[in-house]
Amino acid sequence: MVKSPERQRGVQSVDMAIRLLEIVRKESQPMMLRDIAVSAGITSAQAHTYMSSLKKFGMIEQLGDAGRYALSDATLTFARHVIRNDATLNANINVARSLSAEIQEMVTVDCLVQEQPTVIFAVQGPRTPSLSLRPGTRSRIGNSAAARIFDAWSDTPEMNPNLSRIIRASGYAHAEGTPVPHLASLAAPVFREGALVASISVIGFPDAMAPEPERPVLRALLAAVSSLGGSSA
């Protein structure tokens, strides 16, 4: 059956909308409309029409006085659908649940979303104070061990090079006073086919989160990651 011109135009419109989302996704900073248009090979007026529709449906947001475009948090809804069908990420979540039950502390699984470490799963442990960490919560260098993991294995680490080397050599990161005062976190990397795909973190009081390999919480975290084939090299 030959498709009508109207149907063909409809498909092309979807293709372009997805292409624009991909352009914005790949950029680490919010983008100006003209830059999006240039990357897509269309006029600014055409780009504006697409971006207005994407914004209407909650896929895109505009930030700051300049109105730069970025993916909205609503895109995490699609990420959750992917996670449910991704065997590796599901395995991480199952391990995180088991780890939390074993050590009685809060455990999270983080992935890079829009180039930022982002919680995709969190389970509250009875020993950990109630925290507002939930899927979609983002972190940055200096306020979580998970962020330090992703930075240490990035091509251009922001941290002191010595700290990056220590994290890579030891296979875990530690942060204290975060994500809230009087708490600390430990995180270890999970790899798939040699690529860093996630970080599993434990959050609790500093005495339990001490970064000595013989301490029970760190031992349990490293064993959990090792069961996923995630111990680093």
Least Cα distance to 53 among 14, 2, 92 occurs for: 14
Please, are residues 17 and 23 in contact by the beta-carbon 8 Å criterion?
no
Residue 184: enclosing H or E segment and its boundaries?
A: strand 184-192
Asked if 224 and 216 count as a contact pair (C-beta separation under 8 A), the reply is no
Of residues 3, 44, 37, the one with CA closest to residue 20:
37
pLDDT one digit per residue (tens) for the chain, 233 residues? 444 444 444 457 888 988 898 888 777 678 999 999 999 999 999 999 999 999 988 888 898 878 899 878 666 666 666 666 677 788 999 999 999 999 999 999 998 876 788 888 899 988 888 777 777 777 877 678 999 999 999 988 888 899 999 999 999 999 998 657 789 999 999 998 888 989 999 999 999 999 998 899 999 999 999 998 754 44
pLDDT value, residue 225 = 94
Report the alpha-carbon distance of residue 78 to residue 208 in Å, rounded. 35
Does the global pTM surpass 0.75? Answer: no
pLDDT for 8 equals 45
What is residue 7's predicted lDDT score, i.e. its pLDDT? 44
Q: Is the peptide bond before 179 cis (omega within 30 degrees of 0)?
A: yes
Return the CATH superfamily for domain 86-227. Answer: GAF domain (3.30.450.40)
- Classify burial at 131, counting beta carbons within 10 Å of its beta carbon; exposed 0-12, middle 13-18, buried 19 or more: middle
- Extents of the domains making up the chain: 11-76, 86-227
The pairs formed by 161-165 with CB atoms below 8 angstroms and a separation of 24 or more are none
Predicted local confidence at residue 66, as pLDDT: 80
Q: How far apart are CA 124 and CA 100, in angstroms?
A: 8
User: d(Cα 36, Cα 109) in Å, to the nearest integer?
Assistant: 32
Q: What does the DSSP 8-state code read for residue 74?
A: G
Q: Please give the angle made by the CA atoms of 172, 176 and 177, to the nearest 5 degrees.
A: 150
Residues constituting the chain: 233
Give the pLDDT score at 78: 63
CATH code of domain 11-76: 1.10.10.10
> Does 86-227 match 11-76 at the fold level?
no
